[in-house]
Amino acid sequence: MVTPFRGDGSIDEQALVQLVQWQISSGIHWLVACGTTAETPTLNDEEWLRVLRIVTETADGRVPVWAGCTDNSTRRAEERTRLASQIPGITAILTASPYYNKPTQQGQFQHFSAVASATQLPVVLYTVPSRTGTNLKPAAVLRLIDSAPNIAGIKESSGNLAQVGELATRAPRSFQIFSGDDVIALGTVSVGVAGVVSVASNEIPREMSSMMQAAISNDWPTA
Q: Among this protein's residues, is 100 annotated catalytic?
A: no
Residue 155: helix, strand or coil by DSSP?
A: strand
How far apart, in Å, are the Cα atoms of 5 and each of 38, 84, 128? 10, 22, 25
Integer Cα distance of 114 and 111 in angstroms: 5
Q: Is 155 a known active-site residue? A: yes
> What CA–CA distance (Å, rounded) separates 65 from 164?
24
Element housing 154 (H / E): strand 151-156
CA 17 to chain centre: 20
Quote the CA–CA distance of 156 and 171 in Å, as a whole number.
14
Rounded Cα distance between 133 and 161, Å, is 18
Catalytic-role residue among 99, 100, 102, 126:
126
**Amino acid, single-letter form, for residue 100:** Y
Per DSSP bridges, beta strands 123-127 and 151-156 are: parallel
Q: Which of 183, 196, 153 is nearest to 214 (CA)?
A: 196
Q: How many residues does the chain have?
A: 223
Residues with active-site annotation:
126, 155
